[in-house]
Structure 1
Amino acid sequence: MSGANITVVVPTLGRRSLTPLLNLLRDDALRVLVVDDRADRRQPLAVPEHVTVLPGPARGPAAARNVGWRATPHEWVAFLDDDVLPDPDWPARLRTDLAAAGPEVGGVQGRLRVPLPAGRAPTDWERVTAGLADGAWITADMAYRRAALAATGGFDERLPRAFREDAELAFRVRRAGWTLRRGERRVTHPVRPESRWISLRTQRGNADDALLRRLYGPGWRDLLDIPPGRRRRHAAITAAAAVATVTGIAAAVTGRRGWAGVAALAATGWAAGTAEFAAARIAPGPRDRHEVTTMLATSVAIPPLAVAHWLRGWWRWRAEPPAVPVRPVREAVAA
């Protein structure tokens, strides 16, 4: 396969990790497009001379990637996140991976490694990031045949976060008649520094899950190869907390023992559920003071926050029609 048929698309918010990534993509056989998805682009991105910068819509990575692949006529489009570090031989291995793809193959995933600290157990955030190494069809390093992207319309721009948008596209590509496989090229995905409250911010993804549930029905996780979550447990914990609060107020106002008993029972359920959740997050970690206090505080806040975001998404997408079957329209493109 000629490398001239490959474009590499990197959506970015201008993180420092972008420069070392682009320096590892110096290969005459690749066209490199960076989609600048910053809301404020008054200061231009500093990129090497072999890189072309396109303005993004500032609506998240799904929309930015669509800008990138639609701007190229090349047969293959390889997507990289702006915080990965490809191996030195990544361009050559990419060409090998794609040359081995038969006409039925619509996408080829690279292999991720996530280095974890030596000498101690990983934190909750480090374990979450390490889970990417086992993810299916994630766009930290995923190449798609342009024909497959065109046939399916590309990434769903209703999914504004780097969360589920890659799994959702992979499902539609397979449903349209293509197959996906793993290649041999490798990238490293370092664990980037984050606030100790990052687990609270990531709960926004529950709103995207509500859209996927609306589109694909109750079996959406199985269809999209997404592991089971804890939403039902979060809902039960949140309901117990709400019942304990309401009945506790009722007991205080009326002085009735019945309300007090219900409040006590609900509070016990809330405490037990929260304790189980916190213990599950603390046990595999370093268990130092900082990590334990962070896990305790966030384990109290996550269940109601997750439920609130889910309900927000459910309300927003309540009238969205379910996804309809896609007719196979795969083009027979020679590898």
Structure 2
Amino acid sequence: MTGAPAYTVVVPTIGRPCLAACLRALSRAEGHPPHEVVVVDDRPETDGDLPLERAGPLLDRIRILRTGGNGPAAARNAGWRTVATPWTVFLDDDVQVLPDWSRLLAEDLQEAGEDVGGIQGQLRVPLPLDRRPTDWERNTKGLENAAWATADMAYRTVVLTRTGGFDERFPRAFREDADLALRVQRAGWTLRRGRRVTRHPVRPAHWWASLPAQRGNADDALMNRLHGRGWWDRAQAPRGRLPRHLAVTGAALAAAACALAGRRRAAAACAALWTLGTTEFALARILPGPRSAREIAGMLGTSVLIPPLAVRHWLGGAVRHRHARPLGGGGG
């Protein structure tokens, strides 16, 4: 599109099969192709070639960087630091842009005032039409309302330079985008949502996938340290269930302590509170779902384990990051 600013797409990947669909969709987007596509291979060990041929006509614009498994924040930093265009557009390897994506992106970039530091794409998560969505699918659906998610997020490259980019203390694809957005806004830039749309399919997951996801509570503890406890509202992030997990876990520990001390009534009361809290959590996950035997069994088992895991990771993060300071200095 004539007059639209040039941009480079940065796609971090760990070699998942979905990368092929991501590149194929990007190659089919018409209107304003990227100046370059930087695929950042963040696999700890190179195990086979990436499916770059799926990029079709964009194949000659692809450049590969290898970062050796340092995490998505480090991979994105490695990518944008090599960008020579005014705008850098981050895409995750599990998304698929729509055919009019590049044309609408061009309009987003053209209409951005000088104060606009970043523009988010709209995410759409398709769900099954023949049944109720599972707990995992509903959680993924929440990405549609996530603010400043780097699944599709365009930043001025100069903004990334001035803010230092992503904070590599966030080791997962969680909260590193919210942290950057808050620092960009604190530096005086505005962020807005664009018109372009990107499809984010639900990736396959085991029934226990919600258990390792609790590691994100450590990243929430880091966010508290870097940005203060009011960051939830400023980042437009849902508060989550950590307060309830703390209460349920505390009830379980109190029940055990009272039982060891021979205080049977107190132990029974605490155990009842734990049962009530765990049941409420399980039902909140089961009732909106397909209610299949597999889903119910998975929700019951993980609903028992999630609260103590969440608390454990949150406490670990609070201790590990107790001396953390915002990237580039400044207060929260």
Q: Are positions 1:297 and 2:301 aligned together?
A: yes
Quick one: which of 149, 159, 181 aligns to 2:160?
A: 149
Amino acid aligned to 2:287? A
Partner of residue 43 from structure 2, selected from 13, 22, 38: 38
3-state SS of paired residue (1:34): strand
Matched residues in 2 for 1:322 and 1:31: separation? 31
Deviation at residue 25 of structure 1 after TM alignment = 2.4
Which residue does the alignment assign to 2:178?
167
1-structure distance, mates of 2:129, 2:193: 28
Determine whether 1:226 maps to 2:237: yes
Distance apart, 1:147 and its partner CA? 1.0
Aligned equivalent of 1:204, options 191, 209, 215 = 215
Offset of 1:78 from its aligned partner?
Answer: 0.3
Matched, 1:15 2:16: yes
1:179 aligns with 2:190: yes
Provide the residue aligned with 2:6 in structure 1: 5
Q: 3-state DSSP class of the match of 1:319?
A: coil
Could you list the per-position Cα deviations for residues 87-145 of structure 1 after superposition, in whole angstroms to 9, with x for gaps in the alignment? Answer: 11212221121111111111111111110001211110000000101111101100000
Which whole-Å deviations, capped at 9, do the CAs of 1:20-58 have from their partners, x for residues lacking one? Answer: 211222375431110000001153323133321111242
Aligned pairs (5 A) from 1:71-110: 71-110=82-121
1:308 aligns with 2:309: no
Conserved? CA contact 1:244–1:266, under 8 Å: yes
Q: In the comparison of the two structures, how many residue pairs are matched?
A: 319
Range with bigger deviation, 50-59 or 29-38: 50-59
Work out the CA distance in 2 between the residues paired with 1:13 and 1:288. Answer: 32
User: Partners of 1:321 and 1:181 in 2: how far apart?
Assistant: 27
The answer to whether structure 1 residue 274 and structure 2 residue 285 are counterparts is no
Q: Deviations over 1:208-235 (max 9, x none)?
A: 1111111122222122221111111101
Which ranges of structure 1 fall in alignment gaps of 5 or more residues? 252-258, 327-335
Alpha-carbon distance in structure 1 between the residues aligned to 2:111 and 2:161: 21
C-alpha contact 2:8 2:35 (8 A) present in aligned 1: yes
User: What is the SS of the residue equivalent to 1:25?
Assistant: helix
1:250 aligns with 2:249: no
Give the secondary structure class of the aligned counterpart of 1:112: strand
Unaligned runs of 5+ in 2: 54-58
Runs of 4 or more off by more than 6 Å in structure 1?
none
Distance 1:59 1:248 in 2: 45
Aligned 1:111-122 pairs, distance under 5 A: 111-122=122-133
Q: Which of the two has higher C-alpha Rg?
A: 1
How far the C-alpha of 1:246 sits from its partner, in A, is 1.9
Please give the alpha-carbon distance, in whole angstroms, between the structure 2 residues aligned to 1:68 and 1:315: 31
RMSD value, Cα: 1.6
- Aligned pair in 2 of structure 1 residues 155, 313: CA closer, same or farther (>3 Å)? same
**Using the alignment, how far apart are the partners of 2:280 and 2:199 within structure 1?**
33
